[in-house]
Amino acid sequence: MLRLHNTASHKLEKFKPIHSGQVNMYTCGPTIYDFAHIGNLSVYLLSDLLKKYLQFSGYKVLDVMNFTDVDDKTIKASHAQGVPLSQYTQKFGQAILDDFDKLKISRPKVICEATKHIPDMIKLIQTLLDKGYAYQAKDKSVYYKISAFKDYGKFAGINKRQLKTGASGRINSDEYQKDNAGDFVLWKAWDKDDGQVFWDSPFGKGRPGWHIECSAMSMKYLGPSFDIHLGGEDLIFPHHQNEIAQSEGATGQKFVNYWLHHGFLRMSQKKMSKSLGNLYTLSQILEKVPNPMAFRYLILTSHYRKALNFSFDILQSAQNTLDKFSNFIARLRQQQDKSLDTTDNQAKTQQLIDIALTAFTDFMDDDLNTPQAIASLFNFINQINKMIDNAQVGPIVAQQVLDFLKKIDKVWAFIFPDKKFDPKNEDATQIGNIIKQRDLARQNQDWSKADNLKQQLDQMGVEIQDNPTGTSWKWKKQ
């Protein structure tokens, strides 16, 4: 049974969804004012892993992610370029979807842009005003009154009295307009810096604050109470605390059952962030290590709650490990024309698969313990390699192993090379045929033909080895 570390309780908790067989989850998505950096992407890899593992475990998953396409940063950047806001943000929204595709992050079922949900936000703000959780200040902005929410600060472990400066987050509103420094903006009244960016509302023209966006959109698609909410750990306070105050203030119901937070991706031991300027985008790292799966694999080798220190050395060693998977698959495919299958070998393999599957689910059920789950995968591969060494693997056994790998690769999505991004995408049968032609040419002492065929394999990224028992091949190092 799946257990998840819940930030709300600081404990591992057994996972039980609200609706049996169905999981509703929400991930705080990117602010689309620039290209995402690989720290941002690590959070979305976590959402993707969790979604894939829930699906693997038999759940239906409804996953929602927001795109923040209006805030100080997007407005400022679009003004600087002299283009309308939506035109400006569209490009970055598309860029992150391209990154998702490269990393095999399956796109969330619902991707919701803030600017397309302004009426939902206005409605929620109105409810908070009606219930006494919000007030309109002299500057016409509407603020959340944190003193009205009994448990404000509890989720983040922050005492209300300790709140000196604001939970106002990303909106720089004038502090003196608020009753309390911790009060945060729900609706920011228009000012001249906003230019053409504003919406009409019962509270006057303006735009929504960042926090209300996530409350309004998550509840719209997932209901007032849902199962899992995810984000980077920097969002615990104030953003997630504020989401709780808004949603629970408005509905009187528990907002989210399980909160998951991803540890920071770091560079030279510092958080990777735009403000420190120590970031890489996916495109930048692909210039050095071209296979996107290396990054996916690297992120998954570390437990999601731990900070991971990024370097190109560890990215390259992730790629080297992926090469081992590819060569293992190549090795299995070369067993396809060897008559080595026996019922004993098949039974033995099935036993190894059962053990590997149990290890995989046990570790993943333990708060997505990916490093251990990957270690158990290596254990399995080593044992099958031994069977190949001992001439115990023919086509049936090879297929048993490949089927198992395909099954767990629905979650990992890094074992089988991606045809689009990995040069190791050639068909094993085609490679086998070229090798056979070369063998024939060598038998006929047609050395120039044999050389040509060897060169052809070389260009496909294939390295051959002539052994007394025949020719075997593997992928060349990238």
Q: What one-character DSSP code corresponds to residue 189?
A: E
* Burial of residue 207 (number of CB atoms within 10 Å: 0-12, 13-18, 19+): buried
Q: Binding pattern to Zn ion, positions 20-39, x when CB under 5 A?
A: --------x-----------
> If contact means CB under 5 to 8 A according to the sort of partner, which of Zn ion, ligand AMP, none does residue 185 touch?
none
Q: Do 191 and 140 form a contact (C-beta atoms < 8 A)?
A: no
Among 231, 238, 249, 417, interactor with ligand AMP by CB under 6 A: 231
- Position with the least CB separation from ligand AMP: 232
**In the complex with Zn ion, which residue's Cβ is closer, 149 or 255?**
255
Q: Does 264 bind ligand AMP (CB under 6 A)?
A: yes
Q: Does 112 bind ligand AMP (CB under 6 A)?
A: no
> Shortest approach of Zn ion to residue 172 CB, angstroms?
19
Tokens of 185: 């903006």
Coil, helix or strand at residue 366: strand
What is the amino acid identity at position 422?
D
- Pinpoint the alpha helices (H) of 16-132: 38-56, 72-81, 85-102, 118-130
**In the complex with ligand AMP, which residue's Cβ is closer, 240 or 424?**
240
| Residue position matching structure tokens 């290596």 | 378
Q: Does 40 bind ligand AMP (CB under 6 A)?
A: yes
Among 23, 95, 185, 214, interactor with Zn ion by CB under 5 A: 214
First and final C-alpha spacing in the chain: 39
Helix (H) or strand (E) holding 214, with range, is helix 210-222
Prior bond to 224 cis, omega within 30?
no
Question: Looking at 11-19, 36-44, 146-154, 161-169, which segment touches ligand AMP (CB under 6 A)?
Answer: 36-44
In whole angstroms, what is the distance from residue 212 CA to residue 210 CA? 6
Tokens of 35: 């290209």
Q: Does 362 bind ligand AMP (CB under 6 A)?
A: no
Q: Does 167 bind Zn ion (CB under 5 A)?
A: no
- Answer left, alpha or beta for residue 378, where phi above 0 means left and psi between -120 and 50 means alpha: alpha
> If contact means CB under 5 to 8 A according to the sort of partner, which of ligand AMP, Zn ion, none does residue 171 touch?
none
> If contact means CB under 5 to 8 A according to the sort of partner, which of Zn ion, ligand AMP, none does residue 74 touch?
none
Among 153, 232, 238, 292, interactor with ligand AMP by CB under 6 A: 232
In whole angstroms, what is the distance from residue 12 CA to residue 15 CA? 9
> Shortest approach of Zn ion to residue 244 CB, angstroms?
11
Q: How many CA atoms lie within 13 A of 335 on its CB side?
A: 25
> Shortest approach of ligand AMP to residue 281 CB, angstroms?
12
> Shortest approach of ligand AMP to residue 261 CB, angstroms?
8
Residues in the chain: 478
> Shortest approach of Zn ion to residue 242 CB, angstroms?
9
Using CB under 6 A, count the residues that bind ligand AMP.
17
Note the residues at the interface with Zn ion (CB under 5 A).
28, 214
Note the residues at the interface with ligand AMP (CB under 6 A).
28, 30-31, 39-40, 42-43, 231-232, 234-235, 262, 264-265, 271-273
